[in-house]
Amino acid sequence: MNRQPQPTRPRIRKDNMTAFAEKRPPVAAPILLLLLGVIAGCAGTPPTPDMSGEPELETPVIAEMAPQGPAELPESAWQAEFSAAERRLAAQDWIGAEQALQPLPDTLVANDLARHHYLLARAAYLRGDYNTVRALLESLPQEPVALALRQLLDNFRRHMHSLAGQYRDSARLGVTQLEYALDPILRDTLKRDIWHNLQRLPATELDSALAEATAAEWRAWLRLARLAADQPGVNALRASLETWLAKHPDHVAAEQLPGGLGFLLAERQPVRKVTLLLPLSGRLAPAARAVRDGYLAHYYSAREREDSDHEISIVDTGLFASAVAAYEHAVASGADLIIGPLSKEAVTQLGRHPQRPVPILALNRIDEPVVHGSAALVQLSLAPEDEARRIAELAFGQGARRALILRPAGERGTRLNDVLRQRWQALGGSIAASATYSSPEAYSASIKTALNLTDSEQRAREVRSMLATNIEFIARRRQDVDVVFLLAGTPAEARSVKPLLAFHYAGTLPVYATSSIYSGIPDPRNRDLNGARLVELPWLLGANPDLREALAAGETGGDSFTRLNALGADAGLLQSRCVQLQAGADALIKGATGLLLLDQDLRIIREPALATFDGSDLTRL
């Protein structure tokens, strides 16, 4: 096929367009789980990997820190006490664990002392006492200890660093563990965790780490992460990976490139036609146009790099009786991959439809299981549930353990509350109090009641009455709260609620929130959110500048729907990098909406970035 003239980037406004670019010769590549292989560009039929042994997304942190691999702990005269403490820790009972260890004497042999300190450190970590954790880990015996104990201690340190946001330290420790880890399962876990933590680092921090690194193995890891962080086109990334492999053929990451990157090196069948199913008419039309424009910005950027060789068709689902009818039209028109639909209702219709000969990258997430079809249905979305889980992890990693949840009444508030509670309690946190408000008038009273200020004021009235004098009184809030989760549905709501915490004597408590507290538009009124921490799309924190500039130049990146621009851009990214999804739970792609992972139900799980308001400005942490 002759190469088409390379176009200049147009102003992206059209609802329908067709474009072609140079094709690569189709060559079969290996295939992943269940139906993923029939996603465009991922054709082939190798064995399906077993995901049953992969870690679940909501594993309790105590379980994550438990022994991995077959290494046996050394025998001990205190085995009964150690086992009892392990059982209590598994049940998140740090008091019971400490009580189980009380019979141990002060003087112990090296292995017993190391295990004793390890279990006490885990108990201290569960209650959020980081000073005690550090003291225990710094006073470990100087003598060498059994390999299994060293493994336990390093696993604990590594997970503690990761949850605290110390991603470089966690990755570096994982590299050290690989030097002595022999069990294949543990080695795979370590490589996955190292890569995940390196991908969490911004490019500037990777550069700093590279400048300081001296160990060859560690430097090679950092160089691999740095070239992936540049987010080049597929061709450039493939060339960089081949160069890295040529320089580091014996590196542990060369055995199987992390994050599914190795699948990019296998030749694949090209996708020839992509159809976008979007509701370009009706109430969702503005949102649909934002998604379309984000996708097209990615598409034209890829064309300039000669990474894109497919035709695009854009179909208005509003012209069809159902999402299934629109899908069947796209299939009949020769689509190799379908991106969309956008609404949850439309995705549900396709999820229930077993006749799906062409793979789908849906742009929403549904709650019910998808009926198996002959092709995959992958779900990419901006689901706030991912953000609720993430703020639970980040707050726990910083030492918070007893939460106050503030949320609006209604289905969304209930849903996010349930997800947050589940993850928070799985980690080992507790809910000290919660407040649900149904109107702006109820904000203050709800917070006041949750903080037990009403009880404090009642006690003051009783004292005044008893003493028959008007004594000076300052209300005292409850003291068993160390973090606030704010699940506000809108920025205006958050700007009203956050200052009330200070008014009600809780201004020093850290506040974590989902991205819904930020409109995506700089606003001086956000100074009322000063200090609040939220998880946000990298797109709104400076990532993907070229795509954002292209959207602005084409007058298509409206401020009101900037997150949907990012969703569209990630749809294009996943289409171009879909072969990486063959890695299953190991797949990891740095997108505009966050780090993108794949779960066993073919849902893309987003890990957004942590940010804070510094005055009225949003800053990445």
Tokens of 278: 């979007």
Q: What is the pLDDT of residue 543?
A: 86
DSSP track, 281-343:
SSTTHHHHHHHHHHHHHHHHHHHHTT----EEEEEEGGGSSSHHHHHHHHHHTT-SEEE---S
DSSP designation for 615? T
Q: What is the pLDDT of residue 59?
A: 40
Q: Is 617 helix (H, G, I), strand (E, B) or coil?
A: strand
Domain ranges of the chain: 36-43+268-382+546-607, 61-243, 385-536
Fold match between 36-43+268-382+546-607 and 61-243?
no
Q: What is the pLDDT of residue 457?
A: 53
CA distances from 217 to 210, 242, 380, 584 (A): 12, 17, 35, 26
Q: Which residues of the chain have pLDDT under 70?
A: 1-71, 231, 454-477, 554-560
DSSP designation for 368? S
Q: What is the CATH number of domain 36-43+268-382+546-607?
A: 3.40.50.2300
DSSP designation for 491? H
Q: Are 533 and 553 in contact (CB under 8 A)?
A: no
Q: Is the pTM of this model over 0.75?
A: yes
CATH classification (class only), 61-243: mainly alpha
Q: Are 27 and 42 in contact (CB under 8 A)?
A: no
Q: Is 516 left (phi over 0), alpha (psi -120 to 50) or beta?
A: alpha
The matching CATH number, chosen from 3.40.50.2300, 3.90.850.10, 3.40.600.10, 3.60.15.10, for 385-536 is 3.40.50.2300
